[in-house]
């Protein structure tokens, strides 16, 4: 059983040591440096979906999920979604689109992704847009082998789909973004019958879509609140929203 964590939080000055384009809308930024190597030993860094507060050079602060940790190299990877909706591009997306090796960022945390799998859960639904994909990948890596996990991931293009690995039995539905962010995700899940048995749902992404999904699961699935974790990572049309993505 995974529990919500309240680890001791630290801060570090990080240097960009590598930049890689993962897909048309995702850029992986690798952070390193002496302070990062020490930072990686902070409790909670390995929690599924753990995230950090990132302080950008322009003074903005946003939250981003840890995609991968390499303690031997003393580095961590974060993946930034390069998206713009309603003519608004968030500061993280804007920075990541032009990030260069040698640039410096502040990082702080870690924070918990609020993934808490009940021990009696026979099924899991993980749902999110491209900003939630790193957390979904992280969570899937630690799911028990006996659990059936249904993944609903909304991405801008087919080329933005990524590999997802897990000991669990995965059933992945890739959804492609429509004019309204999160609408493809909602269309797929609002009409989905409730699986049999006791389960658990984790959802993250655009705030409006996540609220809609949480309300649906509470009412139509008759799920108790403790079996649903829902996080709004960003909000369409609001670059000042302090979530990630």
Query: What residue ranges do the domains of the chain occupy?
Result: 10-111, 123-234
Tokens standing for residue 91: 């500061």
What pLDDT shows up at residue 4?
A: 45
**pLDDT tens-digit series, residues 61-104:** 999 999 999 999 999 999 999 976 554 567 888 999 999 999 99
What pLDDT shows up at residue 218?
A: 94
For residues 235 and 208, the answer to whether their CB atoms sit within 8 Å is: yes
Cα 92 from Cα 52, distance rounded (Å): 13
CATH code: domain 10-111 is 2.40.30.10
For residues 68 and 76, the answer to whether their CB atoms sit within 8 Å is: yes
What are the CA-CA distances from residue 181 to residues 10, 70, 75, 145, 184 (Å)?
Answer: 34, 33, 32, 32, 8
pLDDT confidence of 245, banded at 50, 70, 90? very low
**pLDDT tens-digit series, residues 160-183:** 999 999 999 999 999 999 989 999
What are the CA-CA distances from residue 174 to residues 21, 52, 126, 145, 207 (Å)?
Answer: 20, 26, 12, 22, 20
Write phi, then psi, for 16 (nearest 5 degrees).
-75, 120
Maximum distance among all Cα pairs of the chain, rounded to whole angstroms: 51
Cα 217 from Cα 162, distance rounded (Å): 27
pLDDT confidence of 3, banded at 50, 70, 90? very low
Helix (H) or strand (E) holding 206: strand 199-206
Which ranges in the chain belong to alpha helices (H)? 34-39, 91-98, 133-140, 183-190, 207-220
Compute the average pLDDT of residues 9-27: 94
Helix (H) or strand (E) holding 125: strand 123-129
What pLDDT shows up at residue 83?
A: 73
Considering only CA atoms, which of 51, 37, 35, 30 is closest in space to residue 102?
30
Residue 10 has pLDDT above 70, yes or no: yes
**pLDDT tens-digit series, residues 34-43:** 999 999 999 9
Global pTM value = 0.90
Return the CATH class of domain 123-234.
alpha beta
pLDDT confidence of 136, banded at 50, 70, 90? very high
When mean pLDDT is compared across 10-24, 76-90, 104-118, 211-225, the lowest value belongs to 76-90
Residue 133 has pLDDT above 50, yes or no: yes
pLDDT confidence of 239, banded at 50, 70, 90? low
Compute the average pLDDT of residues 18-28: 96
Mean pLDDT of the chain: 90
């Amino acid at each position: 059983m995974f529990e919500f964590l309240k680890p001791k939080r630290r801060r570090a000055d990080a240097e960009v040591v590598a930049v890689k384009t993962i897909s048309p809308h995702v850029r992986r930024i690798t952070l390193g440096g002496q302070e990062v190597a020490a930072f990686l030993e902070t409790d909670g860094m390995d929690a599924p979906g753990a995230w950090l507060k990132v302080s950008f050079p322009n003074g903005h602060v946003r939250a981003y999920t840890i995609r991968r940790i390499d303690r031997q190299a003393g580095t961590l990877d974060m993946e930034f979604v390069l998206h713009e909706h309603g003519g608004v591009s968030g500061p993280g997306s804007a920075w990541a689109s032009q990030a260069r090796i040698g640039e410096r960022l502040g990082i702080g945390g870690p924070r918990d992704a609020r993934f808490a799998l009940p021990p009696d859960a026979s099924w899991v639904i993980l749902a999110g847009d491209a900003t939630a994909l790193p957390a979904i990948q992280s969570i899937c890596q630690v799911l028990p082998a006996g659990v059936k996990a249904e993944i609903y991931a909304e991405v801008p293009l087919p080329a933005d789909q990524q590999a997802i690995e897990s000991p669990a039995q995965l059933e992945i539905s890739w959804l492609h973004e429509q004019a309204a962010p999160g609408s493809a995700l909602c269309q797929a899940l609002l009409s989905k019958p409730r699986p049999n048995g006791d389960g658990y749902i984790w959802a993250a992404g655009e705030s409006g879509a996540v609220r809609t999904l949480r309300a649906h699961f509470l009412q139509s699935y008759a799920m108790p609140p403790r079996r649903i974790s829902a996080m709004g990572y960003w909000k369409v049309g609001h670059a000042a929203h302090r979530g990630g993505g």
